[in-house]
Amino acid sequence: MKFLTKIFLVIFATLLITGCGSTENKQKQVALLFPNTNAGGIWKQVGETCEALMRDAGYDATTQFCTDANDQIAQLKEWIAKKPAAIVIAAQDTDVLGETLQGAKTAEIPVIAYDRLIMHTDAISYYASFENNSVGEFQARYVEEKLNLKSGAGPFNIEFIAGSPVDSNAPLFINGAIEYLKPYIDKGQLVVQSGQISFRDIATDGWKKENAQRRMEEILRKYYGDGKSLHVVIASNDDLAEGLINAEAAVGYSGAKTIVTGQDASANGVANIKSGKQAMTIYKDPAILCAKIIRMVKAVVEGSQPAINDVTNIKNDMMTIPSYLCIPIIVDIENINIVKY
Ligand code: BGC
């Protein structure tokens, strides 16, 4: 009897040490799929930060960036076949993942949308982002203050540069700004000389600064020659802001200094603010967003409740998605030191 007890204890201890026979000690695999890093931006930093935080939280996280939308679909299919505990995805193209995500749903793999809301699917468990409308509104409020619009100053010339037409965030950003500035446009305090204000006219393929530069060069040549001033450009992120900065240099723009907005507090954006070429940016600390995502991963893995602050407003065409929206921060030369990376 004593001998058997001893054997039993040895086996039990071995199981405890190796973790064999239990899945509890096995790290849960989490796939982190992000857009391409070609257009500059901050996705590389986002991916690196988020993977490190996931690992600290005890998950076996793997980050992948895609080259284009088809590549992301291929990555997603591979992960679905591997059956990870969760897939976190910032869609390269928010319109094309529906069919593939159906596969994740069938395989019962929870999917969490990161930063960009994915359309045409009901396979999303949670969504976390920053308040995307606020991004544009904060840019607009900044301009309102700098130009003293509240006290009736003007007229000032303004142009808009929006993001990619296949990113569901892009219209939210620019509409947030346009809606806020609309009363000033209606009153004639702000004038869009090019007349380009509809999303179709001002969108920028792939969020690429070269594409923004091309469009702004045309506008500058046509409407802002002979020292005529372009006072403000609402650019939806730092890459697009750089497109405008480069366009002004390329055409030899000689009007008043343009107030250019941005978003991301990317390395280039921060450098452009420090050198006075860009007025402001919107800082969306990836560590803050990723912390919310980790809570969501934990929830789908453990069946617990994540932190959610919006259960009604975030909808795609197929479902309402429980979400957490973080608040972005306005950064200009005065507080640029709060940017952590
Ligand atoms: C993100 C922005 C980013 C843009 C281009 C958007 O979906 O929210 O932070 O600048 O994509 O990558």
List pLDDT tens digits, range 147-187. 999 999 999 999 999 999 999 999 999 999 999 999 999 99
Distance 240 CA to ligand 1 centre (A): 11
Confidence of residue 41 (pLDDT cuts 50, 70, 90): confident
Distance 169 CA to ligand 1 centre (A): 7
Say whether 319 sits in a helix, a strand or coil: coil
Q: On the CB side of 337, how many CA atoms lie within 13 Å of its CA?
A: 1
- Kindly give the number of the ligand 1 atom that is closest to the alpha carbon of 115: 8
- Kindly give the number of the ligand 1 atom that is closest to the alpha carbon of 169: 7
Q: Which residues line ligand 1 (CB under 6 A)?
A: 41, 115-116, 163, 167, 169, 207, 237, 263-264, 284
What is the C-alpha separation between 260 and 83, in angstroms, rounded?
Answer: 45
- Kindly give the number of the ligand 1 atom that is closest to the alpha carbon of 238: 10
The CA-atom distances, in angstroms, between 157 and each of 143, 174, 219, 323 are 12, 17, 12, 37
- For residues 274-294, average pLDDT: 98
Q: What is the pTM of this model?
A: 0.92
Phi, psi of 111 (to 5 degrees): -120, 130
Chain segment 119-142, per-residue pLDDT in tens:
999 999 999 999 999 999 999 999
- Kindly give the number of the ligand 1 atom that is closest to the alpha carbon of 263: 10
Joined tokens for residue 159: 């142009």
Task: Please say whether the beta carbons of 105 and 123 come within 8 A.
Answer: yes
Q: What is the pLDDT of residue 340?
A: 85
* Residue ID of nearest Cα to ligand 1 atom 12: 41
Q: What is the pLDDT of residue 7?
A: 53
Query: Would strands 329-332 and 280-283 be described as parallel, antiparallel, or unpaired?
Result: antiparallel
